[in-house]
Structure 1
Amino acid sequence: MKVLFYIAALLAGAALSVEGALYAILGESIGKLESSLYNFVVGTIILGIALLFWGKGTLSYTVKAPKWQLTGGLLGIIYLTVLVIGIPLIGVGLAMSSVVVGQLVMSMIIEHKGWLGSPMVKVRPEKIIAVFLMLVSIFLIY
């Protein structure tokens, strides 16, 4: 079962690269911020429809939830907008490689510290070497 998740995660990563490239092109046509807005409007409509049929949560809890838990939306906007602006400047490969390295570093810190409800996982030397090699790959791509 884990193998299916790994495959799904790889496909999702591939989809993010395609998405970033598509929205960078759209940003050149309609504007960078407008491209990001389009992404979130379309996503909101699709998720709203899906929620009508399959939603099982309590969306009204949003007003009661701790405000720090709601910052994911802001982070998503920053992520996509940086890609829309950055991909035409540095390319899809370098932008996505940089994103992956940033994700790896932050995920290692979150797990090492046990932040955000994550189980504590100590950083092993192999992980540090892997991140270092990915940083080297960014410089080689550049």
Structure 2
Amino acid sequence: MFSLLVGLVIGFGLPLQTAINSRLRRIVRSPLVSSMISFSVGTLFLVAILILSRQGLLISEATIAHQPWWIWIGGILSVVYLTGNIVLFPHLGAAQTVIMPVVGQLSMSMLIDNFGWFDSQRHPLTVIRVIGGIVVLLGVLLVVFTNSARSELKIQKSHASVDERRPRNSTSALPWQIAGVVTGMLSAAQTAINGHLGTVLASPEKAAFISFLVGTVALWIIVAAYEHGIHVKPAFSRKNPWWVWIGGVIGSLFVLGNAYMVPKIGTGLTVVVVLFGMISGGLVVDSFGWLGARRISVRPVQLLGVLALICGVILIKLF
């Protein structure tokens, strides 16, 4: 039960992190730079946790030598997923940029559970669990495909170029839809990898630290190459609200929570519970306009979607 509560809390925090990083993105005028700052802050926060809990930052040579190579790439997959969403949005729009990765996350997480990939605990795939996954996907569809989501998409498209506003045929969108599913699958793989890393190191805190450290190093390299330098000075202006710095803290707690949950309840249920928390948190942020987010009223069909998510979680958990 405690693991489910952890999943709900960290999932609820993701929309808050998104709102914070969106504000930071407007300040530094770069999604990559805002992500780099967020990852860097999260890494420092995890360093503080390890120091306060008297855990070392280093890993033994024996652990590095005897563990498979994939155990260290969780942070890289996180960066790919983050960057993938940025790249996908102009080609798929807001709704499909949410839906396609979710399809990948649900599919991959259940495959990981069924086959025990990444040394995960096996949770056999039953008909009821498949139905539960479909019900969860239906809930996501109901939440995303609403009039409020469409109106938001129209506003975003109004700022796009004429070429971007032209209708896209299904054939041209198909490669991007596949890419969206793949990024979601990588996200689920990252969850399983970090969970196993936490078990190997006997410390979900250290697993989260390594994941964030790898992601931070990768983002610094990407930003230096793509942005032709590191430009973070605007972020330090005193005019900025203090909370623009805590997105990385929320993100680090998210990774830490996943590393804690996976060994206990499996990758599939972890992904679904976090997804439920994320959807619920997103509706609350939209409804109240927290952290500078644009206020969007919650529709009854969205509440129906949340109910479907709850039903899906129950099916996956109990069967």
CA contact (8 A) 1:36 1:84 kept: no
Structure-2 change in CA distance of 1:130 and 1:109 (3 Å):
same
CA contact (8 A) 1:112 1:123 kept: yes
Q: Secondary structure at the match of 2:59?
A: helix
Task: Give the counterpart letter for 1:106 in structure 2.
Answer: M
| Separation in structure 2 between the aligned mates of residue 87 and residue 108 of structure 1, nearest angstrom | 26
* 1:1-142 alignment runs, 5 A limit: 3-30=1-28, 31-56=30-55, 59-61=58-60, 63-64=64-65, 65-83=67-85, 90=94, 95=98, 99-140=101-142, 141-142=144-145
User: Whose Rg is larger?
Assistant: 2
Q: Which has the higher contact order (CA 8 A, sep 6+)?
A: 2
Q: Secondary structure at the match of 1:47?
A: helix
Q: CA deviation at 1:45?
A: 1.0
Bigger shift: 15-24 or 104-113? 15-24
Q: Secondary structure at the match of 2:21?
A: helix
Aligned length: 137
CA contact (8 A) 2:102 2:137 kept: no
Structure-2 change in CA distance of 1:21 and 1:85 (3 Å):
farther
Q: CA deviation at 1:138?
A: 4.3
| Separation in structure 1 between the aligned mates of residue 77 and residue 127 of structure 2, nearest angstrom | 29
Which runs of no fewer than 5 residues in structure 1 stay unpaired? Answer: none
| Separation in structure 2 between the aligned mates of residue 84 and residue 126 of structure 1, nearest angstrom | 34
Bigger shift: 43-52 or 124-133? 124-133
Q: CA deviation at 1:128?
A: 1.6
What root-mean-square deviation, in Å, do the aligned CA atoms of Structure 1 and Structure 2 show? Answer: 2.9
What is the percent sequence identity of the aligned residues?
30
Q: CA deviation at 1:63?
A: 4.9
Q: CA deviation at 1:79?
A: 2.8
Structure-2 change in CA distance of 1:63 and 1:118 (3 Å):
closer
Normalising by structure 1, what TM-score? 0.75
Q: Secondary structure at the match of 1:60?
A: coil
| Separation in structure 2 between the aligned mates of residue 74 and residue 21 of structure 1, nearest angstrom | 23
Q: CA deviation at 1:75?
A: 1.2
Q: Deviations over 1:86-128 (max 9, x none)?
A: 679517xx73x65554332211101111111112221111222
Q: CA deviation at 1:17?
A: 2.1
